[in-house]
A and B are shown apart, each in its own frame.
Chain A
Amino acid sequence: MKSQHRLLAGMFVSLSILQAGCSSTQLGAIVEVGMIAAGQSPTQAAQAGKATASLSGAVAPMNIESEKSLGGGIAVQAYSQIGKRYEDEELQRYVNLVGRTVAANGSRPELICAFAVLNNPTPNAFAGPGGYIFITTGSLKAMKDEAELAGVLSHEVAHVALKHMLQTYRRASLVGALQQTAAAFDANAAQYKELVDAATQTLFDKGLDKGFEFEADKVGTEIAALSGYDAKGLLVFLKKLETMTDAKGGWFKTHPPLSERISKINVQLAGELSGEKGVVQSERFQTMMSAHLK
C-alpha cells in the first residue's frame, strides 16, 4: 500500500515535469532513478518508470515531424478517396495565397500550411494534421467572394492551430501510435498504414467532436477578421450550404447542424467582433474563378 502511494505520488510529480517538456521515455528514466534514490527496490523503480512512461505517453503532445508524417499519409488518402487534384496551377496558387494570408494570423506560424483544391462537386473542406488543408471545387463554385473562401480556410486553419485532429485521434485510442517518431513511421510501413487508415476514417467518416467544430468556427471567424477580411465570410457560406441539397455529403455529413453553427457565429459577430469592417474582395475572386474554375 505504501509503495503504491509512493508510485502514485511519483507519477503525479512526473506528469508535472512532463508539462515542462520531458519526453515520455526521459520521464520514465527520471522516475526510475528517483525511486531508487528514495529507497525503493530496483524492480519497483523499474515498474514505476515503465508505468510513468506509458501514462505520460497518453497525455504528451505529438512531435511536429510525426504530425506532418501522419498528415502526409492522410493527404494521400484525401486524393484517393475525396477527389483528384484540380489541375490548374493559377487556381491552386490563388487558394494557397488566401490560405497563407489567414494562416499568418493563426496560432502556429511555425507550421507552413499547404492548401489544395480537390476536383469534387460536393461542397467540402477539411484539414489534416501537419497543416494539409483541402477544399473542393464544389465549395469554390458555391462562393461569391474571397471573404467566404477566407472564412472557410480560416475554419480549417483553426482546426490545425488547435490540434483538433490530434486530440480526436487521442480520444479514438490511437494514443500509442501518436507517440511514434517520424523515423519510426518510415521504418514500419504496416503500422503507419494502419494508423493513417484509422485516422482517415475518423476524419472523413466520423468527423470531429461537435465542440471542436464550434470552436473552429469561432476562432476561424476571428482569424478571418484579423486578416482583414469581412468577418461574415464563413457565416455567408454556411447559410448558402443550408439551402443546397447537394451539400449533404460534405459538411452536412460530419459537422453539427448548420442552424446551430450559424446561430453561434451570429452571436460572435454581434458581440466581440462587432464593428469589424473587413474587405469582401469579390472582384479578384470572381476574376479568378471565371478564368480558372470550370
Chain B
Amino acid sequence: MRLNQCSLVAAVIWLGISGTVAASPKVLYVQVPKADIREGKTTSSALVVQVDQGTRLSLVSEEGVRYLVELADGRKGYISKLSVSADKPSSGGLGGLAFKDDRDVTERRSAASGRGLSEAAKNMSKNGTTDPNAVAWVETMEKLAAKISADDVKRFRKEGGLQ
C-alpha cells in the first residue's frame, strides 16, 4: 500500500511539473530581435507595432500559426508563434513556443553564440579520410558567417523589398 502511495506522490509531482510546462501560457515574451505585430493574420496586414526581444505580451487567443496578443498599452494584434514563447529571455535569444521542450537550459541562458570550429573537428584532417582542404573550408564558412552583421542583413532585406 505504501509502495503505491509513493508512486502516486511521484506521479502527482510529475504531472504538476509537466502540466506547468505544457499549459497554455497567458504571458508571452518576444524571442527574436524584432517581431511584427499586425492587425491581421498575414504578413501583408497593416503593422501595429514592431516589438523588441523580451517584450511582454498577453495572450488573447490562438489562431493557426499566430497568436492574437495584447500589448501593455492595450493595443492588440497578431504575432507569429515562431517569434514568442512563455520563457522570459535573460540574454541572447530563445526559440519559439513550438520548440521550447527540447531546448537546453544552458542554451537558454547563454548569450548569442558565436561561431568557431572546435579542436576536435579541426583534428579530423589528421585522420587521412577527409578532403585535405575540408577543415579550411569549414573555417572559411565560419569566418564568412561571423563577418556578416545584423546591419548587413537589415540592408539586404531593405534592398530586396522584404517587409
Contacts and interface: CB of A to CB of B under 8 A. Distances in A.
B93 interface: yes
Nearest to A197: B129
* Main secondary structure on B side of the interface with A: helix
B55 interface: no
Interface residues of A, number: 86
Contacts of B99: 107-108, 161-163
A9 B9 contact: yes
Contacts of A205: none
Interface string A202-219: 000000000000000001
A92 interface: yes
B59 to A, nearest CB: 18
Q: Chain A: interface secondary structure?
A: helix
Contact of A110 (B44, B113, B124, B138): B113
Given A12-B11, A68-B113, A107-B99, A112 B146 contact: yes
Interface in B1-50: 2-4, 6-7, 9-11, 13-14, 17-18, 21, 31-33, 40-44
A30 interface: no
| B interface, size bucket | 35 or more
B38 to A, nearest CB: 11
B21 A19 contact: yes
B121 A75 contact: yes
Interface string A88-132: 010011001110110011111111111110000000000000011
Interface of B: 2-4, 6-7, 9-11, 13-14, 17-18, 21, 31-33, 40-44, 53, 64-65, 80, 82-83, 92-96, 98-99, 102-107, 110-121, 123-127, 129-131, 133-135, 137-138, 140-142, 144-146, 148, 152-153, 156-157, 159-163
12 contacts: A2-B2, A15-B14, A73-B121, A75-B121, A85-B137, A105-B83, A110-B92, A110-B113, A166-B102, A189-B120, A193-B127, A278-B44
